[in-house]
Structure 1
Amino acid sequence: MSGKRESVVDVQGTVEDGFEPVRDAFADNFARRGERGAAVAVYLHGRKVVDLWGGAKDGDGASPEPWEAGTAQLVRSATKGVAAIVPLLLHQRGLLDLDAPVGTYWPEFKAAGKERVLVRHLLSHRAGLPVVDTPLTPTQAIDGVSGPAALAAQAPVWEPGTEHGYHAQTYGWLIAELVLRVTGRTLGSWVAEEISGPLGLDLWIGLPAGMQSRVGRLADIEAPAGTGAAGLRVRPKRAVAEAYEDPSSLTRRAFGAISPAADENSPEYRAAELPASAGIATARALARCYAALIGPVDGHQRVFAPATLTLARTEESAGLDRTLLVHTRFGLGFMLHGAASPLLGPGAFGHPGRGGALACADPESGLAFGYITNGMQKNVTADPRAQALLRAVASRIGG
């Protein structure tokens, strides 16, 4: 690639001394990697050290409004990491047994050979329920009833606990219903009352009506040629590409659990409590949330006790993913650092969102990271823009 070009985007925000490479990488994302509007934030040992934003608020050009300090975005599967906090905290408080059958809390779930599906299987993508036998309409997907009911009634596609495969959309219905059965509260309300509220986070699973104007519009965009992250494949292997195109494949069915595809920019979708795919946040909120999982933040006690933090990032699933057809690693609800999803370091945990967003933390270095974008590129776990930012953060700590 030719030398670095000057970014035409006015990057806003601040970086502490020593983190200037993150600003440079953020500007490069606009100049060289197709970025339209985005934000990135980094915390170090509970202190915010990077807080940057720039570009247009709407990825589809629907409005000339610039991205502002408080602009939020839908973060797709980066929502899963936030959702995973809830069952882990319920376990931490003695309200949920990770080794209990799901049917202990959700009796209807025992149907069709699922009596031995454990709570930890839901969190580690080992339940054998990555698809719904009949895809749900967008209206059914957000009604809070149809998704859990369909999954409770159907049989797993593999023996639970024996293999793993990414539960792209079904993860949300499974975890949401489990939390509802245990607490009597929806997962979105639990996050609002127990996590976002106390920590002062602009982070929602179920966007309040008054916040709609804060959210930029997503758009699918093409990445410029040759902009893949170093060490990663820009294009998937042929078998993977074919699986995404084959309507009968587990891969296509998992990502097509809602059909026709929902309009992610609609107020109804943004307001839906879909813990697999419809969380909305600022980059600042994602980074602060993960920082609070691993240590104190601005006088707030850490959210995860040491034992819970160990559970979050201890490998539960590893190897060839039945859905993604690449090698993935999962703890309990979180993706772990690996070739398919590089994070901040070997002990880091977090979750990407298909097409761009990423949030993660590394207890060893004390770093927490949040990145959001309105331009959705064709990737699932390793967006080149997010990876460029991670490399810049790692350069600050000698990674």
Structure 2
Amino acid sequence: MTVSGQCSPEFDDLRTEFEKNIASGEELGASVVVDIDGEVVVDLWGGFSDSERTRPWEADTITNVWSSTKTVTSLAVLMLVDRHQLDVRAPVAEYWPEFGANGKDRIELRHLLSHTSGVAGWEPPFTMDNLYDWDSASSHLAAQKPWWEPGRSSGYHAQNYGQLLGEVVRRVSGKSLAQFVADEIAGPLDADFQIGAHELDWPRIADVVPPPPLPFDLTALPEGNLMRKALGSPPLDAAAANTASWRRADLGAYNGHGNARSLARIMSVIPCGGSVDGVKLLSPATIELIFEEQSNGRDRVLGVPLRFGIGYGLPEPQTVPAIPDGRICFWGGWGGSMVVMDLDRRMTITYMMNKMGLGLLGSPRSEAYLRAVYQVIDA
């Protein structure tokens, strides 16, 4: 299976690494893009859309990108901040009054954006049916108590990030998160990205291939363990992403569908100063908010060191060693997808795939691609 697309000669090592992984089967199907100063210098895709290897990964293949979706969800919220419809230091209850119940009245919007709110998931029991019911899922969160003192430290909001922020978007804009992204981001930028997936697009979706099992059993952890509560309610099931119910849902934490090209098109707005091809989404002042550090230390849910600004992760050498220090923000998805926005170099790097690796943030494959890019840029 050959790799298609275009690649500037200086990035030949990246292409070689990508081709090697496709040829060996380490990748099933994938895409990778590098955008520098608004110019796409790498746009590669290859492999297969299905585990039976009967459908090639095409230029317009899309897949479920897991938590790389959060990069777009955060952008949607920051756009409303930029329009002065939201204030990152205002209590969430100012926009969503029911959320102020049970000691959450002082939780600020920035705490949701930085995973420091203490509301890192749904209190069990909570089912997939609850997840797919927007009003039910929001009501559950509004009624809960925080799991720790808000603003003190991060605890990755793995499954409910899109519900928390999406409800704020809905209350302020009058649009669902999925509709806001369609109307205000993907549409104006002509980017092939959506939260959920329209049924007419299902034939070109590359089904995800679940990762190897976690090296431990979540259900064996104590009932009050934050990893168990955040990741196990409802239980994480990669195969759910291939179902009709998942694709019809509005899950801004992890059911975005796109590819490396569409994520790079959207997220390059941050390294490029707020505009892409004349379409302005953010001001420089709002972009600066991203780099106001909100937490720095061991994440209460993932158990690894993480740094969060407002809406995005910031470089953390122990956990994401392939991302250098500097004015860089990023996030990735379960199984290895990755979005890196490097403002120092006005560069965006995106990688999306269907064969999931082990790990909730990055993978050996994504790390190798990032290193190949930075070896060129920093040479």
- C-alpha offsets along residues 40-84 of structure 1, whole Å, 9 cap, x if unaligned? 1110110011011111112x32x6111101100101111111100
Change (3 A) 1:50 1:106: same
Query: Is 1:146 the counterpart of 2:136 in the alignment?
Result: yes
Aligned to 1:387: 367
The answer (yes or no) to whether the contact 1:286–1:369 under 8 Å persists in 2 is no
Which of 65, 69, 87 is matched with 1:79 structurally?
69
Which residue identity does 1:308 align to in structure 2? T
The answer (yes or no) to whether the contact 1:335–1:341 under 8 Å persists in 2 is no
Distance 1:252 1:322 in 2: 11
Unpaired segments of 5 or more residues in structure 2? Answer: none
Unpaired segments of 5 or more residues in structure 1? Answer: 1-8, 224-234
The answer (yes or no) to whether the contact 1:47–1:298 under 8 Å persists in 2 is no
Query: Where do 1:1-399 residues align within 5 Å?
Result: 9-31=1-23, 34-58=26-50, 60-61=51-52, 64-222=54-212, 241=216, 245-246=220-221, 248=223, 249-259=225-235, 261=237, 263-295=240-272, 299-338=277-316, 339-342=318-321, 344-346=323-325, 347-398=327-378
Q: Percent identity?
A: 38
The answer (yes or no) to whether the contact 1:176–1:186 under 8 Å persists in 2 is yes
The CA deviation at 1:28 is: 2.5
Distance 1:260 1:286 in 2: 24
Distance 1:153 1:92 in 2: 29
The CA deviation at 1:364 is: 0.5
Which residue identity does 1:49 align to in structure 2? V
The answer (yes or no) to whether the contact 1:105–1:182 under 8 Å persists in 2 is yes
The CA deviation at 1:31 is: 4.5
Change (3 A) 1:120 1:221: closer
The answer (yes or no) to whether the contact 2:152–2:295 under 8 Å persists in 1 is no
The CA deviation at 1:357 is: 0.8
* The 10-residue stretch of structure 1 (161-170 or 293-302) with the greater mean CA deviation from structure 2: 293-302
Which residue identity does 2:59 align to in structure 1? A
Distance 1:14 1:252 in 2: 43
SS of equivalent residue, structure 2 residue 350: strand
Write out the 4+ residue segments of structure 1 that deviate beyond 4 Å after TM superposition: 241-245
The answer (yes or no) to whether the contact 1:362–1:368 under 8 Å persists in 2 is yes
Distance 2:129 2:360 in 1: 25
Distance 2:280 2:37 in 1: 11
Distance 1:273 1:328 in 2: 27
The answer (yes or no) to whether the contact 2:337–2:362 under 8 Å persists in 1 is no
Distance 2:343 2:351 in 1: 18
The answer (yes or no) to whether the contact 1:168–1:254 under 8 Å persists in 2 is yes
Distance 2:179 2:78 in 1: 16
Distance 2:3 2:220 in 1: 38
- C-alpha offsets along residues 189-233 of structure 1, whole Å, 9 cap, x if unaligned? 11111110111101101212211112111112459xxxxxxxxxx
